[in-house]
Structure formats: structure tokens, C-alpha cells
Amino acid sequence: MSVIDPTQAGGVAGLAIDAPRAAVNLSDATQMENNFIDLMVAQIKFQDPTKPVDSTEFLNQFSAMSQVKSMENMARVAQSNLVLTDNLQTLTAAGLVGQDVTVAVDRVELSDEALAGEFQLAHPSGKTTLVLTDAVGKQTEVPLGPQAAGRVPFTLDAKALGLAEGEYAVSVETASGEAPQLELTGRVGHVRVSAEGPVLEVAGAGQVPFYQILAFGQQPASGLL
């Protein structure tokens, strides 16, 4: 069953609020404002009656206090925006459970289900090859043949390739020397909430931070083995 797995007892809401609070500390600004007012009152109370403080000086001090208050209000607005953004990001990630997303990868997890992806070529390539490297350094080449510039789809089927299930490093070799970024399309199994934001479990790609998602709802591409 697809689930969202919070890592703290406070759940999604607790993480969404605690992280911004740690980033924006308002207690220092409030304490500074209180100290400023106390000093200003003491200055008025103990001033020399024969040489009172110039009213312009009081206005300048009041202006400085107002600036401190404005900065505090801005910090509160920023805090609220951080909380809202974090909550929206978590809700969006939760809505992706059971949906297909596209992420950039340099490693894949092969299983009994074929994986689909694609990459972008800036130049034509007379020979294009996917290279899979297992944990002990053994390489398996998957020829894709000549390719024109543009999007190149591919599929990886462990059974058809005679490969054991597991994790493999993956890269592209081209005749032009170009090394494009591989993009994998997989289904989101579940979402884990962390202090850094939502982390999605994507089929074939493993755990992927939310900000690394390149596309939502994209259908797996069909291609060559």
C-alpha cells in the first residue's frame, strides 16, 4: 500500500513549521526592540533638565526603533511563506504517489520490470551506446545504433539483457563524444518526509529528493533494448 512515512512524531505539519523556525529566529529582534525602548525611557528619565536631549535625537531614535519593528514584521512574513511553501511541496509530493515522474539518474535499479527513459542529444551520433556497470565493475553495453539530434528513448529489461537484478551505474557513449544526462521515468511508490523536504521512492531510481524531479505525469517512453 502506498503511504507517506513521516520521520518524526510531529508528522508533516511539525516538520513544515520547525524547519522555518530554525531558519528565522525572531526572539533576537524582539529582545533588541525591548532593550531599545528601555534605554530610550531611561534616557528621558535621567536626562539633565538644564540640557535636555534634542527632540531631533528622539525622532532619530524612534525611527531606528521603527526600522527594527519593520524588520521583525518582514521576518514573520518570510517565516509564514516558508511554512506555506513547505506544506504545498509536501502536499504536491503526496499527490504523486502512484503517478509517473521523470528524474535525472546516473544509477538505476534493475528488477523484473523493464525501465523506460530517454536522453537529449545536441548532435547526431553514428554510434550510441548505453553502458551499465555493476557493483564489481563489470560493464554491459546496450547498443542503440545511430541517432539523430533530439530526444532518444530507451528501455532497460534485465531479463532480456541477461543481467541480475540490482543496482547499476549507467551512462551514454556517443560517436561525437557527447555525454548527455539520462532521464528515467518511474512510478512513485511512497513519499518520505524529511527535514530537507519530501523524498520520493521512484521505481528504478530509488529515493529521489522532490526538487530533483524533472517532469510529472510523463508516460514512459518506448525504445530499444
Percentage of the chain exceeding pLDDT 70: 76
Give me the residue spans of the domains in the chain: 8-94, 100-216
First to last CA, the chain: 31
Spatial separation of the C-alpha atoms in residues 212 and 186, rounded to whole Å = 13
Poorest-pLDDT segment among 29-38, 171-180, 208-217: 29-38
Condensed to tens digits (0 to 9), the pLDDT of residues 72-131 reads 778 787 777 776 777 777 777 788 888 899 999 999 999 999 999 999 999 999 999 999
Spatial separation of the C-alpha atoms in residues 125 and 67, rounded to whole Å = 61
Query: How is domain 100-216 classified at the architecture level of CATH?
Result: Sandwich (2.60)
